[in-house]
Amino acid sequence: MGSLPFPSRDARPDLSSAVAVFVDRAYIGVMDQRQTAEASGAYPAVSFETILTDFELLDDWEDRYRYVIELGRTLEPLPEDARNAANKVQGCVSQVWLATSIDPDNGPPRLHFLGVSDAHIVRGLIAILFALYSGKRADEILQIDANASLAKLHLKEHLTPQRSNGLLAMVQRIRRDASVATEAAPSLH
């Protein structure tokens, strides 16, 4: 029998080098969180600061895209009955639904969001927006400069114009819901 065209197990390079682990750790961590969440029925909240840090760790935009897609998989499911005309976001090329719930119990209203899209990247963008906005008071949401926050991720340079417009439409929808909640707040107490 002749020699095999593949290196022996001992001659194979160590693929767990610091560089390979360093590059993959961010989106692999999100995948692990998603699997744990799906098993327990809970969905982990990822902070915007964590996303920003993870983006800085990933030099390659292909890795960043995979990470964004994995973020989208961490979204809590949107019930089918919430996929209606009132929750559909206009201005997105992909189908996008955002459902807003308002928690007025502890002072100013806090907004929580559920959302989904038929596009993997857009689901990830929704997850990024939820990290930026969900769980915050309506007045805090209105003070967030989404353009400045999202610019830190350099998304605009790497999204198609249609995706950028859709992202802006989602931001406008979230801000509109926060504005409505702020105006309605006195009648909620």
19-39 pLDDT, tens digit per residue, is 433 444 444 554 555 455 445
Element of type H or E holding 62: helix 61-73
Cβ neighbourhood burial of 185 (10 Å; 0-12, 13-18, 19+): middle
3-state secondary structure of 137: strand
Domains, the chain, in order of start with CATH, read: 11-188 (3.90.1010.10)
Would you say 104 and 79 are in contact if contact means Cβ atoms under 8 Å apart? Answer: no
129-149 pLDDT, tens digit per residue, is 999 999 999 999 999 999 999
Q: Is 92 a catalytic residue?
A: yes
pLDDT at residue 93, rounded to an integer: 87
| Residue 117: closest CA among 92, 150, 91 | 92
Chain mean pLDDT for the chain? 81
Among residues 30, 75, 92, 129, the one annotated as catalytic is: 92
| Residue carrying the six token digits 């308002």 | 102
pLDDT at residue 36, rounded to an integer: 53
Virtual CA dihedral for 73, 51, 124, 142, nearest 10 degrees?
120
| Residue 189: closest CA among 97, 124, 129, 108 | 108
